[in-house]
Amino acid sequence: MKPIVPKKNEPVRIGFYICHCGTNIASVVDVEAVAKYAATLPNVAVSRTYKYMCSDPGQELIQQDIQESRLNRIVVAACSPLLHEHTFRKATEAGGLNPFYFQMVNIREHDSWVHTDRTEATRKAMALARAAIQRVPHHKPLEVKKVGINPNVLIVGGGIGGIHAALTLANAGKMVYLVEKEATIGGHMAKFDKTFPTLDCAMCVLSPKMAAIGSHPNIHLWTYSEVAKVDGYVGNFKVTVRRKPRYILEDLCTGCQECVNACVYKDAKFADEFNLGLGKRKPIFLPFPQAIPPVTMIDPEVCLNFKRGKNPDGSHTVSDKCKKTCVEACGDRKAIDFKQTQEIKEITVGTIIVATGFQIFDARRIPYYGYGVYPNVYNALEVERLINASGPTEGEVILRNGQVPKKVAIVHCVGSRDENTNRWCSRVCCLYSLKLAHLIKEHTHAEVYNFYIDMRTPGKGMEEFYNRIAEEGMHLIRGRVADVYPDPNDGATGRLVVQAEDTLTNKILKIPVDMVVLATGLEPHPEAESLRRMFNLSCSSEGWFLERHPKLAPVNTFTDGIFLAGCCQGPKDIPDTVAQAGAAAAEAFALIDKGHVEQEPNTAYILDDCCGCKSCIPLCPYTAISFAEDTKKAIINETLCKGCGTCVASCPSGSIVQNLFEDVEIYSEIDGVLAEGLF
């Protein structure tokens, strides 16, 4: 198709299209009336309605009209421009016009979906259409800016989501920086015993992937590290990573753990984080046997060779009071370095995948369940560790007093579906509770009582799993647990009573049990807020990172080039996390493989009548504006300008113009929306 080059002084001929969107728009807005109204406005040559403008025939309609009716401006009144502006720009371009001769009117999200009065909604649609029709004659042909993209990828978070995304990209030949806050990758999945619904061992499927990360030539694995700063934009992010000192030189340590054996502490006596404090470790330790990188670390808070307490800058001071048997054991490898300090790494990447995961709900926030008060109340993750063969009890489900529980209650929805704590369903608790019920029964032959509100088992194989577990002779009680208290008849043994109303039989139940397992829900990571600021993301009101579109852009964010994977976006199970991580990797790959990013040409430029007052220069956060000494005028560096328009609004002589948002365009919109008779 021959591109239509606008001739000078050619009369503006606008094509106006209003979409029914099935009944989404047409049921509230009288689309025919809007089309008739638009036809009366100046410059409108064609005015039509169509059932689905975004469909192929809808777009072809535009292209056909451009050719047949010699249209040179297009206005489509439909959904939000954030959804379909791109679609219609493409259609405009396919018709032979510059894509920026297009303007979109949002009459679905901003009108038909939020108003019920047909007259008022129709008037609003007319006013908004009028604004666009008045605006579009001022549009100029613009060109999309193409900027090269750095092929490296940063992945933040080394749980199963980050691991999967990293391997996918690294296998495709891309250089990946995987940054993990903890000393090892693996995340929550590494702590699980079995996974539902297949009951396959979590570590058996995870550890090969972890090992692959550790040995992959395309992956820079930085554990015990945090992203400190992110600058730049899609294609060219400048990232600062802070690597915390683990006092072991990663390149030299072979993971033999002879240092651990040689430590002056003969017995492990410090709470082991990986086992949630149920087990013990030494001051020098490997987080868990399959840790990647297989490198030990030193906890300076308890190691005798360090002074207690941190310095104001967060570092620790070496006391040199220990015999340093660990150094002796390490011998010639010389992998232990008490003087190690934090290391700052600066990298440039083109895309970022955020996979920072979740935290489990702190059950102490619901005092009547007695977590943290009664020793026999556990959260589900602690029980995972008790069941796990490499856990603190080597797979024996025993209470803190060493006894095997004979009766176990599992309380669902702890910190989920609760007005007082978190309102959302954490999605995985019903299923992992069924899994734990099965595993506890398998390990202890105990009677297991599941107290649930609703049994939620969506997903492939999940309902079958529920039926299977139910048939194993579990007690499934529909009722929210109201109280957990020491058994008045048997208090000394730590036995507890779980009280709930069985809402199917309308009976109050008081069941004495030896162990209570709280199926704690999933919560946004405590650092989500600071991460959100750093990566310029949005959060839902609950604190989960917000995807660009819940259905059509589920891994994209509002910041181009930054993608989401896993539970940082919302609670999900392992298969969904992996699927999402794959999607995020594919999105990143699609950007990289294209080789360039297209940037909205909404940058600003300076007119000749700039008087050189320099008031715009300090306003630009990207230092895109400079002062040309020879001409005594300001100049804008187009590659640095991000198109916010702050300088435009401040120019006292009106000498700065923002493409796509020119003053004259905004003024014609203001005039358009205030049209008489449309309120």
Partner 1 sequence: MANATQSPLPNSTWKPRIVAFFCNWCTYTAADLAGVSRMKHFSNVRIIRLMCSGRVDPQFVLEALAKGADAVLIGGCHPNDCHYVEGNYKCLRRYQMLKRMIADMGIEPERLRLEWISAAEGEKLKRVVNEMVETITKLGPLGLPQKFEQWDREMEEFANHVAARDAAAGGGCAEHGTNTQPLETAHA
Q: At what angle do helices 462-471 and 429-444 cross, to 10 degrees?
A: 30
Chain centre to alpha carbon of residue 343: 27
Name the DSSP class of 7.
P
Q: Binding of partner 1 at residue 261 (CB under 8 A)?
A: no
Residues 559-598 close enough to bind partner 1 by CB under 8 A: 559
Q: How far apart are CA 52 and CA 428, in angstroms?
A: 38
Q: Are 605 and 636 in contact (CB under 8 A)?
A: yes
DSSP-derived 3-state class of residue 136: helix
Q: For partner 1, which stretch binds (CB under 8 A), given 215-223, 297-305, 468-476, 660-668?
A: 660-668
Q: For partner 1, which stretch binds (CB under 8 A), given 36-44, 260-268, 463-471, 661-669?
A: 661-669
When the beta carbons of 467 and 540 are compared against partner 1, the nearer one is 540
When the beta carbons of 38 and 592 are compared against partner 1, the nearer one is 38
When the beta carbons of 5 and 114 are compared against partner 1, the nearer one is 114
Neighbours of 266 (CB within 10 A): 8
Q: Are 271 and 282 in contact (CB under 8 A)?
A: no
DSSP-derived 3-state class of residue 129: helix
Residues 634-653 close enough to bind partner 1 by CB under 8 A: 642-646, 648-650
Least Å distance, CB 538 to partner 1, is 4
Q: Binding of partner 1 at residue 602 (CB under 8 A)?
A: yes
Q: Binding of partner 1 at residue 140 (CB under 8 A)?
A: no
Q: Binding of partner 1 at residue 605 (CB under 8 A)?
A: no
Q: Are 602 and 144 in contact (CB under 8 A)?
A: no
When the beta carbons of 368 and 667 are compared against partner 1, the nearer one is 667
Token pair recorded at residue 513: 């049990």
When the beta carbons of 113 and 270 are compared against partner 1, the nearer one is 113
Neighbours of 604 (CB within 10 A): 25
When the beta carbons of 224 and 563 are compared against partner 1, the nearer one is 563
Least Å distance, CB 539 to partner 1, is 6
Q: How far apart are CA 539 and CA 252, in angstroms?
A: 41
When the beta carbons of 401 and 530 are compared against partner 1, the nearer one is 530
Q: Binding of partner 1 at residue 418 (CB under 8 A)?
A: no
Interface residue with partner 1, options 33, 45, 54, 82 (CB under 8 A): 82
When the beta carbons of 113 and 374 are compared against partner 1, the nearer one is 113
Q: Binding of partner 1 at residue 425 (CB under 8 A)?
A: no
Find the angle CA(631)-CA(634)-CA(640) to the nearest 5 degrees. 130
| Phi, psi for residue 122 in degrees, rounded to 5 | -65, -40
Total interface residues for partner 1 by CB under 8 A:
54
249 dihedral zone (left: phi>0; alpha: psi -120 to 50; beta) = beta
Q: How far apart are CA 164 and CA 9, in angstroms?
A: 57
When the beta carbons of 424 and 622 are compared against partner 1, the nearer one is 622
Q: Binding of partner 1 at residue 368 (CB under 8 A)?
A: no
Residue 512, burial from CB neighbour count under 10 angstroms (0-12, 13-18, 19+)? middle
Task: Quote the strand ranges of 469-595, DSSP E.
Answer: 475-478, 481-486, 496-502, 507-513, 515-520, 522-524, 562-564
When the beta carbons of 111 and 514 are compared against partner 1, the nearer one is 111
When the beta carbons of 399 and 619 are compared against partner 1, the nearer one is 619
Token pair recorded at residue 621: 């956060």
Q: Binding of partner 1 at residue 200 (CB under 8 A)?
A: no
Least Å distance, CB 648 to partner 1, is 6
Taking alpha carbons only, the member of 349, 237, 353, 351 closest to residue 591 is 351
Q: How far apart are CA 358 and CA 572, in angstroms?
A: 10
Q: For partner 1, which stretch binds (CB under 8 A), given 122-130, 295-303, 402-410, 582-590?
A: 122-130
When the beta carbons of 48 and 110 are compared against partner 1, the nearer one is 110
Least Å distance, CB 453 to partner 1, is 24
Residues 498-557 close enough to bind partner 1 by CB under 8 A: 533, 536, 538-541, 546, 550
Least Å distance, CB 528 to partner 1, is 13
**Cα-only R_g, the chain:** 31
Q: How far apart are CA 398 and CA 389, in angstroms?
A: 13
| Phi, psi for residue 94 in degrees, rounded to 5 | -65, -30
Mask: binding to partner 1, 5-44, rule CB under 8 A, as x and -?
----------------------------------------
Residues 98-117 close enough to bind partner 1 by CB under 8 A: 106, 108-111, 113-117
Q: How far apart are CA 263 and CA 267, in angstroms?
A: 9
Query: Which residues would be at the binding site for partner 1 (CB under 8 A)?
Result: 80-82, 106, 108-111, 113-117, 120-121, 123-124, 127-128, 131, 533, 536, 538-541, 546, 550, 558-559, 602, 619, 621-622, 642-646, 648-650, 658, 661, 663, 666-667, 669-671, 673-674, 676, 679
